[in-house]
Structure 1
Amino acid sequence: MRGAGPAAKGISGRRSLRPLTGVLAAMAVSLTGTRISAVALPWFVLVTTGSATRTGLVAFFQMAPYVVVKAFTGPLVDRTGPRAVSWTTDLVSATAAVAIPLFHARHLLSFPLLLALVAVIGAARGPGDLAKEVMVPEAAERGGVPLERATGLSGVTERLASTIGPAAGGSLVALLGPLTGLTVNAGCFALGSVIIQLALPRGMGHAAEDVPAQAGETPPGYWRRFGEGFAFLRGDPLLLTVIVMVGITNLLDAAFTTVLMPVWARESGNGPAAIGLTGSVMGAAAVAGSLIAAVAAHRLRRRVVFFAGFLLAGAPRFLVLASDAPLEVVLAVFAVSGFGAGFLNPVLGAVLLERVPRRLLGRVNALGDSLAWAGIPLGGLIAGAVVASAGLVPVLLAGGLAYFLTTTATGLRPEWREMDRGRPGGRRLLKRHTEEDGPHRNTHTPR
């Protein structure tokens, strides 16, 4: 990627917010489509098959390719350039997504074919999401926007998508059926591809520049690039601890979203509209939390905010569904959880911004995301099987307890002290790597 300076501001040298606006807009529409699909696809499988196990299996076939492909595409994104990767993979996702309702309408959609199509969507989404994340810091530089603020805006964009997407998905499924939601999802992916092609300047989103090879040396190949990212990640204890903790919570969140929520909605009689409503309430509260974090991130004690946010965002959602509380109480708890969740990614984004050199951004980001998302494919699969054998309430109680222990016991490890000390240490790290490797960029933390 290009470094800071006049070249990063366009040919004229003037700053422009168009690149950042374009990247955030593409993120917004593709993430909104994903959130709509998160309501429509599980509901479609649940009502057509009546099987929680098959619902979890579909989630597995979508997320397993996402994690695996993303893990190995970091060097390719760095080498090919995130712009080309972003618009092409969005186009592939749109094609596979629209094929589901088309095949179903012609009575050709067998369950194995559905699994194959969602696997293609997941495999394309991995590098597509990564490519957009990688372009945020360069777009911020071109607009003269501080990188921490750009990270916060990226978090707000995701939270807005988490607000609009479930509401739209729940409404579409309730009024027009789940296949309509899947069609809209395909349209969102296609629109994201168009935005990247039209809104971003031609000089943006090129391949990252590696350290020049010595005389007689060949340029680094794929596995050397991959190894450099792995070595950097392995040498940072704080990032590794974050990945382990987030990996466990991601598994629990996947189980909650893909299986436990749809089964709760069906058994409680609230229906798919309740899934959209709870997601929208949580997303709206998360937007408020993200905005506060984006404005006040430099004044916050990161470690306290981080663990307090997880305490609110995790276990309460599981426990309120297990308590058979009225929908109004469920919505109130989801609002509190969303507010806490809104602080997490801006804080983590600021920490990671200080630690990852620009030239390694794609590969470190891809590896970190994939390791932290490794449990997501198993979340729905495990939840579907356990709910089928033990029932919904015991699984909700066990999930809430696991979430609470993970997000409290992990905080006792000494690596977390670096989170509060990260800002001055990060400036020293930034200076050293700027001199040797080029400017830093932040990496995106999985959710």
Structure 2
Amino acid sequence: MVDPSRASASGPAHDPPEPAPPVPLRRNRNYLILLTGQTISEFGSAVSTVALPLLVLVLTGSAIQAGFVAFANMAARFLFGIVAGALVDRWNRHRIMLVCEGGRAAAMGTLATALLLGNPPLTLIIVAVVVEGAFAALFAPSEEAAMPSVVPPEQLPNAMAAMAGRAYLGVTVGPAAGGFLFQLKHTVPFLVDAISYAFSFFLLFFLRLPRRVVAAARPKEILGEIGAGLRWVLGEPRIRVSFLSAVALNLVFNALLFTVILVASERKVPASEIGIMTAMLGVGGLAGAFLAPQFQSRMRPHTTVIALAWICTLLTPLLVFVPAGIGFGLVMAAMAFPTPAATTSIQAAQLLLTPDGLRGRLSGATQLSGGVSGALGPLTAGFLVNLTSDGMAFLICAGALLLISLSVTFSPSLRSLPDLAKDAAGGEVPRERDPAAV
């Protein structure tokens, strides 16, 4: 029998020690590897993204063909995104990321080499962007599914906001550099993109992820695994409605962004100014990513989405009146400002709702929805610019955004989406469902 007086003097022996506080993100080695490598990679992507439609316009003089090349890249992301999530849940996520960055470096390096040798055929450009899009579709769910094992749940919203910020940092500097480098020599933007992928590939060798136990599966079972992931996404109303909202918003925003680039080009805005114009969008998004943690601490996820939709709706008609170039850039920057808080708060809630064995398929479905909107957006813009006036193209986009804003405002499922990151910080993380039961 234990003497109570001795127990009280030495402290309760049965009390477990308090858990150590989590390592801050700024000292989290694996997180910093992902953040740094992909920041450089996003910069390279932004450089080539603004240069690609300009290249096709120079070679063909056709806005529709420029839109089709962007459509091919996004269509590849969509098609490979169908199976990407299941593969990510089945394979080693670290190795997937290495292969993807190496493949993207090879694709952009091939395009740069072809440009050095002369004017490449449109077919080669399409093949290069399809390969890049396919590996991008596989990389994104690998990285996103790995994030909950790299950072603790209470840090996940801030980590996701910083990861969104890296994309906007690339968009801020990349397009201006892309327009300048394209004007200098058409080859250089694509060479820079290839080098950025190679740098990320090198950094990923030093990444360490926890070992995952994955049940063996035969190749023919992949369709069943995809179906299980889709049943999870479609069976959870809060995830389903957030996906549909994201598809609609991304579709219109991609169409609007590509319309802005095409209209600016047709109005003879110099390529360097188009790069600065697109970079201004990155400035707005980067500022929004920096302030996203403050917004997330004061607003629930559905509120951030509603705010994003209405801000874009009210700002789009201004594009009819402002001058092409810098005026376009200011409007797009204002639209980009609320985007990081909305997207990252929704992504964090979705990841914490989902078991680890399904997170790859969840992220794959997210990329799939982005692929749909990303593929159709530029193609839609190409037809809008060719078949209507510039002002009418902008007003059509504004009308679509109005319908989306009304939908998300009155959606009960979106309003019921909980702030799971705050619940996780308070020790109330929801229990994961068994993936086999999905």
User: Which residue in the other structure is 2:104 paired with?
Assistant: 93
User: Which residue in the other structure is 1:231 paired with?
Assistant: 231
Cα distance in 2 between the residues matched to 1:184 and 1:219: 37
Amino acid at match of 2:28: L
Cα distance in 1 between the residues matched to 2:288 and 2:45: 22
Deviations 1:63-88 (A, max 9, x none): 10111102202121122121111111
Deviations 1:143-176 (A, max 9, x none): x9722222222222222222222222222223x1
Percent identical among aligned pairs is 23
Which among 330, 337, 340 is matched to residue 339 of structure 1?
337
Q: Give the 5 Å matches for 1:382-401.
A: 382-401=380-399
Q: Give the 5 Å matches for 1:296-311.
A: 296-311=295-310
User: Which residue in the other structure is 1:73 paired with?
Assistant: 84
User: Which residue in the other structure is 2:69 paired with?
Assistant: 58
Cα distance in 1 between the residues matched to 2:86 and 2:219: 13
- Tell me by how many angstroms 1:424 deviates: 7.7
Cα distance in 2 between the residues matched to 1:108 and 1:268: 25
- Tell me by how many angstroms 1:366 deviates: 0.3
Cα distance in 1 between the residues matched to 2:87 and 2:418: 33
Amino acid at match of 1:344: A
Aligned length: 413
Cα distance in 2 between the residues matched to 1:221 and 1:208: 18
Note if contact 1:96-1:117 (Cα within 8 Å) is conserved in structure 2.
yes
Q: 1:134 to 1:167 in 2, by over 3 A?
A: farther
Note if contact 1:101-1:179 (Cα within 8 Å) is conserved in structure 2.
yes
Deviations 1:290-314 (A, max 9, x none): 2222245233233222211232245
Q: 1:243 to 1:232 in 2, by over 3 A?
A: same
2:410 maps to 1:412: yes
The alignment partner of 2:372 has SS state of coil
Note if contact 2:182-2:189 (Cα within 8 Å) is conserved in structure 1.
yes
Amino acid at match of 1:200: L
Amino acid at match of 2:375: P
Which among 155, 158, 163 is matched to residue 146 of structure 1?
155
Q: Give the 5 Å matches for 1:89-238.
A: 89-107=100-118, 109-141=120-152, 146-174=155-183, 176-197=184-205, 199-201=206-208, 204=209, 206-207=211-212, 209=214, 221-238=221-238
Deviations 1:395-441 (A, max 9, x none): 1221122123213333212112212565688889844218x579xxx
Runs of at least 5 residues in structure 2 that lack an aligned partner in the other structure: 1-18
Amino acid at match of 1:98: G
User: Which residue in the other structure is 1:319 paired with?
Assistant: 317
Cα distance in 1 between the residues matched to 2:362 and 2:54: 35
- Tell me by how many angstroms 1:222 deviates: 2.3
2:352 maps to 1:354: yes
Q: 1:206 to 1:75 in 2, by over 3 A?
A: farther
- Tell me by how many angstroms 1:189 deviates: 1.2
Cα distance in 1 between the residues matched to 2:30 and 2:422: 29
Cα distance in 1 between the residues matched to 2:213 and 2:368: 20
Note if contact 1:41-1:178 (Cα within 8 Å) is conserved in structure 2.
no
Cα distance in 1 between the residues matched to 2:333 and 2:261: 19
Root mean square deviation, CA, Å:
3.0
Cα distance in 2 between the residues matched to 1:410 and 1:401: 15
* Largest Rg, 1 or 2: 2
Stretches of 4+ aligned residues off by more than 6 angstroms: 217-220, 423-429
Q: Give the 5 Å matches for 1:6-45.
A: 17-45=28-56
- TM-score, length basis structure 2: 0.85
The alignment partner of 1:432 has SS state of coil
Cα distance in 1 between the residues matched to 2:133 and 2:248: 20
Note if contact 1:310-1:340 (Cα within 8 Å) is conserved in structure 2.
no
User: Which residue in the other structure is 2:256 paired with?
Assistant: 256
